[in-house]
Amino acid sequence: MHRHLQLTEQGKLKHFLTIDGLSRELLTEILDTAESFADMSGKQVKKVPLLRGKTIINLFFENSTRTRTTFELAATRLSADVLTMNIATSSTSKGESLLDTIRNLEAMHVDMFVVRHALSGAAHFIAQHVAPHISVINAGDGQHSHPTQAMLDMFTIRQHKKQFAGLKIAIVGDILHSRVARSQILALNTLGVAEVRVIAPKTLLPTQVRSMGVIDLQDMAEGLQDVDVIIMLRLQKERMNSAFLPSESEYFRCFGLTEAKLKYAKPDVVVMHPGPINRGVEIASSVADGPHSVILQQVSNGIAVRMAVMSMTFPAHGTTTA
């Protein structure tokens, strides 16, 4: 179903909603396109006229400074006109339905929606109902999917490891609630890594986690053994006061990434985190700022990957690309 929704009849990207159903070829095309934009970022003039005269609306029903900022910068560097709407303060508070809001923005000749929403499936819903010439990019929907985050992580892994075949990857933390982990697991398996492990306390693992094609472990010593990449997840502090977790210090002792635990992994392991990091909760400062960390490169790559996805969804309705 997703396949049909987010691809054109020619198999090109029309929307970018989820990693689910996308082929290894398409994911690789995204990474290759992002590479050309990554080269550009260090240049004196960081702009290309690819989307000049296009209107992109950032529809943020859920606040996120980092994601919003990178999407804004990506759109601006493609020369698009971008308008950010914080929907909590908009007409929906006058009782207008989501669909009416979308219909109205469509009527303003908008070309693309970047959607962030606390409800799983929100971006899909909009993509299902939007006019045929409009692209929808999912910037995070509930606990379901965060595909641009997953792709910037894949980009960063390829940057350091050159290829996916043979890699062992560990994802550590709150797998249960993480849209990031869900998208990462799908992308890593599609791109053909050797092994994806998830490491978390039992209360933070989905019950059917093995059906996702991962190995689940509850011990860092075992889980990090010989891995090439460690992806730490952000611990939502609001889970802390719930039944899911003991104290912060207890969590850090068992699952926090320290220099000592890093020794279980391969000597050239890279450490990743979607940010913002909780120092001393899921990761020690010495690791976050240490030689294995590629956390800030992930942020840089985020702009290149978002530029790639934004420009790739456009040819579907008749614009030329780079």
Residues with active-site annotation:
66-67, 94, 116, 146
* Residues 48/22, Cβ–Cβ less than 8 Å: no
149 is in an annotated binding site: yes
Nearer to a second copy, 211 or 242 (CB): 242
Rounded Cα–Cα distance for residues 133 and 111 (Å): 7
Question: 167-206 mask for a second copy (x: CB under 8 A)?
Answer: ----------------------------------------
276 is in an annotated binding site: yes
The H-assigned helical ranges of the chain are 2-6, 24-40, 65-77, 98-107, 122-129, 147-161, 179-190, 220-223, 237-240, 248-255, 259-262, 285-288, 295-312
Q: What is the separation of C-alpha 318 from the centre of its chain, rounded to a whole number of angstroms? A: 27
Q: Answer yes or no whether residue 117 interacts with a second copy by CB under 8 A.
A: no
Q: Which of 11, 53, 192, 290 binds a second copy (CB under 8 A)?
A: 53
| Min separation Cβ 120 and a second copy, Å | 21
Nearer to a second copy, 3 or 109 (CB): 109
Question: 219-258 mask for a second copy (x: CB under 8 A)?
Answer: ------------------x---------------------
* Number of C-beta neighbours around residue 250 at 10 A: 12
Query: 206 to each of 120, 164, 172, how far by Cα in Å?
Result: 16, 25, 13
Residue 254 token pair? 């068992």
66 is in an annotated binding site: yes
Q: What is the separation of C-alpha 3 from the centre of its chain, rounded to a whole number of angstroms? A: 18
Supply φ then ψ for residue 9, to 5 degrees.
Answer: -60, -25
Question: 57-96 mask for a second copy (x: CB under 8 A)?
Answer: ------x-xx--xx-xx--xx---x-x-x---xxx--xxx
Closest CA to 111 of 131, 138, 88: 131
Annotated binding site: which residue ranges?
Answer: 66-67, 94, 116, 146, 149, 179, 234, 275-276
Residue numbers at the binding site for a second copy (CB under 8 A): 41-47, 52-55, 63, 65-66, 69-70, 72-73, 76-77, 81, 83, 85, 89-91, 94-97, 100, 103-109, 237, 275-279, 296-297, 299-300, 302-303, 318-319
Annotated binding site for L-aspartate: which residue ranges?
Answer: 94, 179, 234
